[in-house]
Amino acid sequence: MKSIADMESEIFEGTANVEELLAHPDWKLRMLAVLEGVSPEQFKNDPNWVVRAEVAKQGFGLETLILDENPLVVVQVAKQGFGLKTLLNHEDWRVREEVAKQGFGLETLILDESPFVRWEVAKQNYGAEVLIEDKHPYVRKAALESLKLAERTLNMGGMDL
């Protein structure tokens, strides 16, 4: 097996063998390959979730990675705006929070069990009239700020600040 230094050099020179990289036990080397653009799509099934998350962050392998076992990988898929309708009901609140950040499904997410998701809905200036009564103070605060922004906008004759 080649040394890590030799393989790093090959990555930077653009002469790396993808099959050798895929089989290499050092995840940091595989991550370097993805970061340097060495066939990122090929690493969508990498055993290390950090590598898979980077693949998704770059917009590759989204069809596969939307089903990833690690929610932090799926968050990266959502950040790409991919599969938001499917991810709207994901079991992990971090994924649903990212869906809300994308401004998708706010009418559903306003009732989410997670206060972090509802907080993001309020920060999107959606549903402030409902969220002003939320049991979590930071959700109420975000809803109040949204209402204040709406009031200022109205007072300025509809001009956005």
**pLDDT tens for residues 119-150?**
999 999 999 999 999 999 999 999 999 999 88
- Looking at residue 4, what is its pLDDT? 94
Angle between helices 27-35 and 4-13 (to 10 degrees): 10
Q: What is the DSSP letter of 71?
A: H
Cα 146-151-156 angle, rounded to 5 deg: 125
pLDDT, tens digit (0-9, with 9 covering 90-100), for 62-94: 999 999 999 999 999 999 999 999 999 999 999
Identify whether residues 75 and 114 lie together within a single domain.
no
For 87, the token pair is 């991810």
Closest CA to 134 of 113, 151, 149: 113
Domain that holds residue 127: 83-161
Identify whether residues 91 and 148 lie together within a single domain.
yes
- Going by pLDDT thresholds of 50, 70 and 90, the confidence category of residue 113 is very high
Domain tally for the chain? 2
User: What does pTM read for this prediction?
Assistant: 0.89
- Going by pLDDT thresholds of 50, 70 and 90, the confidence category of residue 155 is confident
Identify whether residues 61 and 17 lie together within a single domain.
yes
- The CATH number that applies at residue 143 is 1.25.10
pLDDT, tens digit (0-9, with 9 covering 90-100), for 12-58: 999 999 999 999 999 999 999 999 999 999 999 999 999 999 999 99
Identify whether residues 134 and 73 lie together within a single domain.
no
- Going by pLDDT thresholds of 50, 70 and 90, the confidence category of residue 156 is confident
- Which of 52, 81, 110 terminates a domain? The answer is 81
Angle between helices 93-101 and 115-123 (to 10 degrees): 0
Identify whether residues 37 and 100 lie together within a single domain.
no
Element (H, E) at 53: helix 49-57
- Which of 45, 61, 81 terminates a domain? The answer is 81
